[in-house]
Structure 1
Amino acid sequence: MMDALSVVSQLRDLASEPQNREAIVQDQGCLPGLVLFLDHQDTQVLFATLQTLRYLAEWPLNIPTMKNELGMMVSLETLMDRAGLSDDITVLSREVYSILNAPPRPPSPDRRRNKPQFFLNSSRGKNKSVTLHIQGLDTTDQRGLCEDALLRVKGVISFTFQMASKRCTVRIRSDLPTETLASAIAATKVLSAQQVLRNEAGEEILLPLRVSGGGVREENQMIPDYLPEEESPEANRAHAVSRTAAKEDASGSWLNSAASFLTKTFYW
């Protein structure tokens, strides 16, 4: 069943792919919907919405449109001053507000303006790679705990550790929320995870991930136990773990359901 949290979580995961960011902002329904989600009472919806906006703001050409979207800056200001919210929501709202308010940067001369492929990419992509910075990943025992946690997550295809930098690169099904990985890792009680991203300047940033108390999120139960590795694994395979089996059902039904939900919710 479609609800606000599932819709914004899917948009966030689509926005995590750089090739989708411009097209999401250009879509007539997505950006107004995200602005309305900034007033939502559910803190999980708020946090996922801010994560989505943070991803979208990584594409400089999106910033003028986002800043001028009706209610965007006012809603962010209200959220920054709203009492009773967690620190991660407050910090992330201030970060998004600062990015949108910063002086515009001229685009690189070689930047290409490709035709948006939002719906095409979202239905074609079957898996993606996520890099996590894992606090507490210091010993082989702790790596073992992390491996066990990730192996229990349906939708994980493979993972590779870089112990020196406390990083783990995880290949997952494209519709598996990244926060599910963070929740599984946090369930070890000794490890915690943040997502590693790069901004337009090539600098690494760490994105906080919302952790649910129950470990693996409920919607993850609908994902098959085992998934195929579609591509050749990346360079370092020393500590990679893979699970393979039948092909996933490549269905674009979520996009139709989300469009219907947004229309009924936002245009009454």
Structure 2
Amino acid sequence: MSAELDALTVVNQLRDLAADPLNRRAIVEDQGCLPGLILFLDHPNPQVVYSALLAVRYLAECRANREKMKGELGMMLSLQNVMQKSTSPGETKLLASEIYEILQLAGKEEAEQAEAAAASCQRKAQFFLGSNNKRAKTVVLHIDGLDDSARRSLCEAALLKIRGVISFTFQMAVKRCVVRIRSDLTAEALGTAINSTKVMIAQQVVRTEGGEELILPFQEGSEALVEENTDIPDYLPEEESPSEEQDKAVTRVGSITDGMGWLNTAANFLTRSFYW
């Protein structure tokens, strides 16, 4: 196995483990994983960089992680380098910028916490916490037919063809996909892309003012214009063979126990391959 393939595998696994909220504190506290992700941000392969950004974005969702992440050697500088590098795809720069803004605010959050507490009761929970970024928004989709890893791969491929998709995560148990998109992209475009697979049907999940959840079908027969992505690397493949344990590590409640063994393996790889 080549060194680059090893790097792709490791960063892909770290991204999937970071998608589970139960794993986020452990990854940041580990002595090798967070520094390794920072090194991945400077990797020559754009696929590795983008997946590392997704992992860092997940980790930053845990408010308790942000101060440590901001202070980690090389974190803010590496994010700035990705944002400023002329060869970085547009969506990669946007994701790095969003992470940078979240971490920049880390030191101010405690001072503003009391004031924000009253307002937070009125705000609806969102998948990504960086809602102050007016350039991005979150769309929740319910996808009939999202039954297995093969269908998930089809859905990934369809979403990644859309210009303006920043990142996404799947909740397989409830057939949901939470998508972070640019503010100028419509939810209908996501529905059109997923429906084009011919084996899945997407509907949008919204909440009423009373907090009740509604599932709204996209208008039948209408197809939103989808601008295809040409400047973003392919999404990293899911390494699911030969067993189902990796899928469980991402979606099953209590996955921290399953994930820690792989975290140790990842940390050992990072120490062996990247520190010199």
Match of residue 171, structure 1, among 157, 170, 173: 173
- Indicate the residue corresponding to 1:77 in structure 2: 80
Q: Which runs of 5+ in 2 are unaligned?
A: 115-138, 154-168, 180-192, 206-231, 249-257
| Structure 1 contact 154–220 (Cα < 8 Å) conserved | no
Kindly provide the CA deviation profile for residues 50-105 of structure 1, in whole angstroms up to 9, marking residues without a partner as x. 11111111122211211111111111111101113222211100000000111521
SS state at 2:173 partner: strand
Give how far 1:223 is off.
3.8
Q: TM-score, normalised by structure 1?
A: 0.52
| Structure 1 contact 32–69 (Cα < 8 Å) conserved | yes
- Indicate the residue corresponding to 2:90 in structure 1: 87
Q: Which runs of 5+ in 1 are unaligned?
A: 110-131, 138-142, 157-166, 173-177, 179-183, 197-209, 229-249
SS state at 2:197 partner: coil
**Aligned sequence identity (%):** 43
Structure with the larger RCO, 1 or 2 (CA within 8 Å, 6+ apart): 2
Structure 1 residues 221 and 15, CA gap change in structure 2 (3 angstroms):
closer
Give how far 1:254 is off.
3.6
More helix by share: 2
Q: Report how many residues are paired.
A: 178
| Structure 1 contact 80–94 (Cα < 8 Å) conserved | yes
Give how far 1:170 is off.
1.3
Kindly provide the CA deviation profile for residues 111-170 of structure 1, in whole angstroms up to 9, marking residues without a partner as x. xxxxxxxxxxxxxxxxxxxxx844xx8xxxxx6xx62x74462899xxxxxxxxxx9841
Query: In the alignment, does 2:270 pair up with 1:262?
Result: yes
Give how far 1:253 is off.
5.9
RMSD: 4.4
Structure 1 residues 81 and 33, CA gap change in structure 2 (3 angstroms):
same
Give how far 1:36 is off.
0.5
- Indicate the residue corresponding to 2:197 in structure 1: 188
Structure 1 residues 50 and 267, CA gap change in structure 2 (3 angstroms):
same
- Map residues 139-218 of structure 1 onto 2, 5 A cutoff: 147=145, 150-151=147-148, 153=150, 169-171=171-173, 188=197, 212=234, 217=237
Q: Distance in 2 between matches of 1:90 and 1:52?
A: 15
Q: Distance in 2 between matches of 1:34 and 1:12?
A: 10
Q: TM-score, normalised by structure 2?
A: 0.51
Query: In the alignment, does 2:106 pair up with 1:106?
Result: no
Match of residue 32, structure 1, among 32, 35, 58: 35
Letter in 2 for 1:264: R
